[in-house]
Amino acid sequence: MSGAMLYGFCSTVLVGLGLYGLIVHPELLRKILAFNLVGGGVFLLFGVIARRGAAIGFGGDPVPQALVITGLVVAFAATALAVALLLRLFQETGRAILQSDKLTDAPSDNSQP
């Protein structure tokens, strides 16, 4: 099982890395990327827990594995919505970052890329 524990630590580092990217990057697309890393880490942790639950000739506990599959699909749906929102925001404001102050004075750039 020590191989599984190794991947468990890998997952915690992924969560930390993703959290760093989420906070530090101003570009929204990088934030979305970093968020996917956090999600990957959490799912990996669930997978490690599944591996620890191996029994009855199964390589792992099937319940967490199935839940990770559901989670991966939901994460993709979230990414797709976030990307669409980001591209629309770019169309309306011409920038792909969130201003910390008001957005109302941003010049509108409606030209298609």
Partner 1 sequence: MTNSTTAGGFLLVLAIVLPVVGVLLSLALGGRQAQRVAFVVMPFELAVAVAIAARIWRTHEMLQYSVGGWIPPLGVAFRADGLSAVMIVTSALLICGIGLFARTQFAAPRGAETRAPLMFWTLLLAVWGALNVVFIGGDLFNLYVALELLTFAAVPLVSLDGRAETLAAAFRYLLFALLGSILYLLGAVLLYGAYGTLDIVLLSGRIHAQPVTWAAISLMTAGLLAKAALYPFHLWLPPPMPALPRRPVHCCRGWSSKRRSF
Partner 2 sequence: MAFDAGLAVLVLGVASWTIAARDTFAAVVGFVAYGLLLALIWVRLAAPDVALTEAAIGSGLTGGLLLGASARLRRTESLAVGEKPAAALRAATIGLCILVSAGLAAIILLLPEPAPTLAALAAANLVATGLGNPVTAVLMAYRAIDTLLEVVVLLLSLLGVWSLTPDHLWGSLPSPHYRADSYETVTFVTQLLAPIGILVGIHIFWIGSVAPGGEFQGATILAAMWILTMLSGLVDAPAVNRRWLRLLLIIGPVVFAAIGLAGFAMAGAFLAYPTNHAKLLILIIEVPVTLSVAAMLTLLVAGPPERSSHR
Q: Which of residues 10-39 bind partner 1 (CB under 8 A)?
A: 15, 22, 28, 31, 35, 38-39
**What is the footprint of partner 1 within residues 69-88 (CB under 8 A)?**
70-71, 74, 77-78, 81-82, 85-86, 88
Residue 43's alpha-carbon distances to 9, 97, 102, in angstroms, are 13, 28, 36
Q: Which of 55, 101, 108, 111 binds partner 1 (CB under 8 A)?
A: 108
Q: Which of 104, 111, 112, 113 binds partner 1 (CB under 8 A)?
A: 104
Question: At 27, phi and psi to the nearest 5?
Answer: -70, 130
- Both structure tokens of 103: 């957005």
**What is the footprint of partner 2 within residues 69-98 (CB under 8 A)?**
69-70, 72-81, 83-88, 90, 94-97
Q: Which of 10, 17, 29, 53 binds partner 1 (CB under 8 A)?
A: 53
**What is the footprint of partner 2 within residues 25-64 (CB under 8 A)?**
25-27, 29-30, 32-34, 36-37, 40, 43-45, 47-63
Phi-psi region of 98 (alpha: psi -120 to 50; beta: other; left: phi over 0): beta
List of long-range contacts for 70-76, beta carbons under 8 Å, 24+ apart: 71/39, 71/42, 71/43, 71/46, 72/43, 75/36, 75/39, 75/43
